Structure 1
Amino acid sequence: MKDAVIYQLNTRQFSAEGTFNAAKAELPRLQALGVDVIWLMPIHPIGEINRKGSLGSPYAVKDYRAVNPEFGTKEDFSAFVAEAHRLGMYVILDWVANHTAWDNVLVSQHPEWYLRDWKGDFRPTPWWDWSDIIELDYSQPALRQYMASAMRYWVEEFGVDGYRADVAGFVPLDFWVAVRQELEQVKPVFMLAEFEGRDFHAEAFDATYGWTWGSAMHDIALGKKDTHQLYVYYSWNERYYPQQVMRLLGVSNHDANSWEGTEFERFGAMLPAAMVLSFVSEGIPMIYNGQEAGYDKRLAFFERDPIVWQPHENGELYKQLIQLKKSYSPLWNSTWGARMIPVHNSAERKVLSFVRQNQEQAVFAVFNFSAEPQEVSFDLHLHHGNFTEYFTQQAITFSAETTLVLPAWGYQIFVR
Structure 2
Amino acid sequence: MKKIVLSLVMLAFLASCNENAKPKETKTTEETEVLAPISDSVLETATIYEANIRQYSEEGTFDAFTKDIPALKEMGIDIIWVMPIYPISSTKSKGSLGSYYAITDYTKVNPEFGTLEDFQELVKTAHDNGIYVILDWVANHTGWDHVWITEHPDYYTQDKDGNIVDPLNPETGESWGWTDVADLNYDNKAMRKEMTEDMAYWIKEQHIDGFRCDVADNVPTDFWEEAIPALRAEKDIFMLAESAKAELVPAGFDMLYNWPGLHTMNDIAKGEKTADAWNALKAEQDSTYAKGTMFMNFITNHDENSWNGTVFERYGDGVETFAALEYMTPGMPLIYSGQEYDMNKALLFFEKDTINKTKGKFYPIYEKLNKLKATHPALNGGKNAAAYEVLPTTADAKVLAFKRSKEGDEVYYIANLTAAPVTAKVDLEGNFTEYMSGKPIQMGATALELKPWQYMILVK
TM over 0.5: yes
Q: Does 1:367 align with 2:415?
A: yes
Q: Distance in 2 between matches of 1:2 and 1:248?
A: 12
Residues 98-137 of structure 1: CA deviation (Å, up to 9, x unaligned): 0000111111111101001244311112332211001000
TM-score by length of 1: 0.97
For residue 24 of structure 1, the aligned residue among 53, 63, 66 is: 66
CA apart distance, 1:313: 0.7
**Aligned partner of residue 334 in structure 1, secondary structure:** coil
Q: Does 1:5 align with 2:47?
A: yes
Q: Does 1:395 align with 2:440?
A: yes
Residues 224-280 of structure 1: CA deviation (Å, up to 9, x unaligned): 111232123101222222331211111111001111111111111111101000001
| 2:221/2:251 contact within 8 Å kept | no
Q: Does 1:268 align with 2:313?
A: no
Please give the residue correspondences for 1:93-242 in structure 2 after superposition, counting only pairs within 5 Å: 93-126=135-168, 127-242=175-290
**Aligned partner of residue 262 in structure 2, secondary structure:** helix
Q: Does 1:280 align with 2:325?
A: no
Please give the residue correspondences for 1:46-57 in structure 2 after superposition, counting only pairs within 5 Å: 46-57=88-99
Amino acid at match of 1:414: L
Amino acid at match of 2:459: V
For residue 453 of structure 2, the aligned residue among 400, 403, 409 is: 409
Q: Distance in 1 between matches of 2:300 and 2:395?
A: 28
For residue 349 of structure 1, the aligned residue among 397, 404, 413 is: 397
| 1:192/1:205 contact within 8 Å kept | yes
Residues 284-318 of structure 1: CA deviation (Å, up to 9, x unaligned): 10000001001111111011101121011111111
Q: Distance in 1 between matches of 2:184 and 2:415?
A: 45
Amino acid at match of 1:81: V
| 1:243/1:334 contact within 8 Å kept | no
CA apart distance, 1:180: 1.3
**Aligned partner of residue 413 in structure 1, secondary structure:** strand
CA apart distance, 1:322: 0.5
Q: Distance in 2 between matches of 1:369 and 1:388?
A: 21
Change in Cα spacing, 1:267 to 1:118, as seen in structure 2 (3 Å) is: farther
Counterpart of 1:340 in structure 2 is 388
For structure 1, which runs of at least 5 residues remain unmatched after alignment? none
Q: Distance in 2 between matches of 1:17 and 1:58?
A: 17
For structure 2, which runs of at least 5 residues remain unmatched after alignment? 1-42, 169-174
| 2:331/2:385 contact within 8 Å kept | no
| 1:329/1:336 contact within 8 Å kept | no
Q: Distance in 2 between matches of 1:92 and 1:236?
A: 30
Amino acid at match of 2:456: Q
Q: Distance in 2 between matches of 1:373 and 1:36?
A: 37
Amino acid at match of 1:409: W
Q: Does 1:328 align with 2:376?
A: yes
**Aligned partner of residue 299 in structure 1, secondary structure:** coil
**Aligned partner of residue 49 in structure 1, secondary structure:** coil
Amino acid at match of 2:94: K
Residues 161-185 of structure 1: CA deviation (Å, up to 9, x unaligned): 0000000000011111222101111
Amino acid at match of 2:274: D
CA apart distance, 1:327: 1.6
CA apart distance, 1:75: 1.1
For residue 355 of structure 2, the aligned residue among 307, 318, 327 is: 307
Q: Distance in 2 between matches of 1:111 and 1:373?
A: 62
| 1:38/1:89 contact within 8 Å kept | yes
**Aligned partner of residue 205 in structure 2, secondary structure:** helix
**Aligned partner of residue 158 in structure 1, secondary structure:** coil
CA apart distance, 1:334: 2.2
| 1:63/1:105 contact within 8 Å kept | yes
What value does the CA root-mean-square deviation take over the aligned residues? 1.2
| 1:389/1:395 contact within 8 Å kept | yes
Change in Cα spacing, 1:180 to 1:268, as seen in structure 2 (3 Å) is: same
**Aligned partner of residue 45 in structure 2, secondary structure:** coil
Counterpart of 2:426 in structure 1 is 378
**Aligned partner of residue 38 in structure 1, secondary structure:** strand
| 1:226/1:350 contact within 8 Å kept | yes
Amino acid at match of 1:221: A
Identity %: 40
Out of 220-229 and 256-265, give the one that drifted further.
Answer: 220-229
TM-score by length of 2: 0.88
Amino acid at match of 1:56: G
CA apart distance, 1:403: 2.1
| 1:356/1:364 contact within 8 Å kept | yes
Q: Distance in 2 between matches of 1:134 and 1:106?
A: 10
Q: Does 1:69 align with 2:117?
A: no
**Aligned partner of residue 121 in structure 2, secondary structure:** helix
| 2:378/2:407 contact within 8 Å kept | no
Q: Distance in 1 between matches of 2:155 and 2:455?
A: 52
Q: Distance in 2 between matches of 1:325 and 1:237?
A: 22
CA apart distance, 1:76: 1.0
| 1:248/1:286 contact within 8 Å kept | yes
Q: Distance in 2 between matches of 1:386 and 1:197?
A: 41
Amino acid at match of 1:324: L
| 2:330/2:388 contact within 8 Å kept | yes
Aligned length: 412
